[in-house]
Amino acid sequence: MLPNYNSPTNYSYPWNLYNLQPQQSPQQQPQPQQPQTNNMSVVFIQGGEFTASNYMLAPNQSVVMIDNDSRKVFIKTTDASGMALSFRKFNEEIEPERKVQVSNDYVTRDEFEKAISELKNAKTTVSTTKSAKQQQ
């Protein structure tokens, strides 16, 4: 006896061969769509602010656009419907390198040990004077 694949009681193929997506059986409830996370990407553009403002984005997406021609950076963000939520412009400013100044002001190990012993002596002197005042 040959199986009847058109019968709802028999097993049918789980894959639709035309779009290769699993078919939902009538018993399965459709799952709610998960909210998309805010995606951030970096894009290098040419054409300045006009190109940056007309750059198309998907919903809930942010992009940092760096203009190759000028030293400008643009950040564009869209909301859940794909409309532009914010468009910000920045001038890229490169800070000059600072040279690290090497200082010759250092303490030798002997000087350090001497300073520590002086602090310890001062601490014991203070504590003995406090205890002497309390006994009076």
Q: Is 93 exposed, middle or buried (0-12, 13-18, 19+ CB in 10 A)?
A: exposed
Six token digits for residue 104: 């010759």
For residue 66, the model assigns a pLDDT of 92
Read off the pLDDT of residues 102-119 as tens digits, 9 standing for 90 and up: 777 888 899 999 999 999
Q: Is 55 exposed, middle or buried (0-12, 13-18, 19+ CB in 10 A)?
A: middle
Read off the pLDDT of residues 55-83 as tens digits, 9 standing for 90 and up: 998 999 999 999 988 889 999 999 998 88
**pLDDT interval class at 87 (50, 70, 90):** very high
| Domain parsing of the chain, residue ranges | 39-91
**pLDDT interval class at 32 (50, 70, 90):** low
